[in-house]
Amino acid sequence: MKIEMVKGILTFKMDMIATLTIALLLLFLGYYLRKKVKFFERFCIPAPVIGGLTFSLLALVLKQANVITISMDTTFQSPFMIAFFTTVGLGGSFALVKKGGKPLIIYWILCSILAVAQNAIGVISAKVVGIHPLLGVMMGAVSMEGGHGAAAAFGPTAESLGVAGATTVAVAAATFGLISGGLIGGPIARYLIDKYKLKPTEVEEFSGESYREAAGIASASNVTSHGFLVQLAVITVCMTIGAVVCAFIAKTGTVLPGYVGAMFTAVAFRNLNDKFKFMKLDHYIIDLVGDVSLGIFLSMALMSLKLWELSNLAGPMLIVVIIQVIFITLYTIFVVFRALGKDFDAAVMASGMAGHGLGATPNAIANMGAVTEKYGPSTKAFLIVPLVGAFLIDLVGIPNIVWFINFFK
């Protein structure tokens, strides 16, 4: 770490170890604040988002006051990001589709349509308000259905194409979407349930099985150093093969974020392994690696945001994200609810889609939990929505985002 005066301003230049240390401390700060502040807990704001944005705001104040400038070495950010999305790929078993049957397939298709629509709305709205269409993509499926993880991952890709402030815009839009998804999910379900006088009806095929059980994720595991290293080897091999795939694709002129190749390599391995049983995958350990990687990656990405880049984009961004919120409200009420059968489960799943379609899967679960606590259970919703929101949607959503980026670059 270096401390020097640059143009009369005290400048802290953090090396990669110091940057990682700050990211971890901010992550713990985020966990602490989420427990203490009801707003954060109510809307399921992730701990790395809380800690990272707190630091970014502090850095903004210090920079604008010409007191201190902080420079970060985010070398570790990319490996942790790729590791996280690789663990997502290892959870993408096509056998999961059979667990949910026809309702899951319908819900998956509806989420896929939403992803395309969000990007189309983002691009069209961006052109109307006079900003780069790739910023519209950043405020589309990247930040809405993709959440903070995709926002922090795809933002640098857009910036590498010359779109300044793409990461900051994507993360800001994701934060707005996260809060909005937590606000509108419950009222949507309540409106549908009261209007159509719906009552809960449990379906026997879904009873007794949680989404984590369906996904093959154990609630506990005897973690050993050898077992951990085996799963880590699987993850890193997928990351390496994915990097090679991305390198070959890049030669065709197609822009592809580094983690995409790794994630789809992991999906291919997971499904081949399900069929041929090469080895035993410990999904508890894989999930653990994913959680750790996501926390560090997001904390590092958000703490290094240049919030001053939002000064000229705040107005257009607000218009675009408000349009996204209005669209998903109408979409869940008039399309999703009807397509899923216009019953109680459909109303609960509509609230779930509002949660993860604008924010993240924990928002969807929180929305559905609030609805079912008041009106009654919906086991079908608690199986289908997390499976699609946490795993399956990326199989369609990410190629859709990549196509939009390459088309409008």
State the Cα angle at 255 between 250 and 257, rounded to 5°. Answer: 95
Tens of pLDDT along 364-382? 988 998 899 889 988 888 8
Q: Which amino acid is at 120?
A: A
What local confidence, expressed as pLDDT, does residue 211 receive? 55
**Other beta carbons less than 10 A from residue 54's beta carbon:** 16
| Strands lying side by side in the sheet with 2-6 | 2-6, 9-13, 68-71
Residue pointed to by tokens 């210090």: 62
pLDDT in tens, the chain (409 residues): 788 777 777 888 899 999 999 999 999 999 999 899 988 887 778 889 899 999 999 988 988 888 888 888 989 999 999 999 999 889 878 877 777 789 999 999 999 999 999 999 999 999 999 999 999 999 999 999 998 989 999 999 999 999 989 999 999 999 999 889 988 999 999 999 999 999 987 554 554 555 555 555 555 667 889 999 999 999 999 999 999 999 998 888 887 787 889 999 999 999 999 999 999 999 889 989 998 999 999 899 889 888 887 877 888 999 999 999 999 999 999 999 999 999 999 999 999 999 999 988 878 988 998 899 889 988 888 888 988 887 788 888 999 999 999 999 8
At 124, give phi and psi (nearest 5°). Answer: -60, -45
Check residue 279 and report its DSSP letter: S
Tens of pLDDT along 172-225? 999 999 889 988 999 999 999 999 999 987 554 554 555 555 555 555 667 889
DSSP reduced 3-state for 10: strand
Could you tell me the pTM of the whole model? 0.82
Q: Which token pair is 291?
A: 């959680």
Q: What is the mean pLDDT of the chain?
A: 89
What local confidence, expressed as pLDDT, does residue 399 receive? 92
What local confidence, expressed as pLDDT, does residue 218 receive? 55
What local confidence, expressed as pLDDT, does residue 207 receive? 47
Instruction: List CB contacts of 112: < 8 A, sequence separation 6 or more.
Output: 393, 396, 397, 400
Q: How far is 107 from 350, CA to CA, in rounded Å?
A: 10
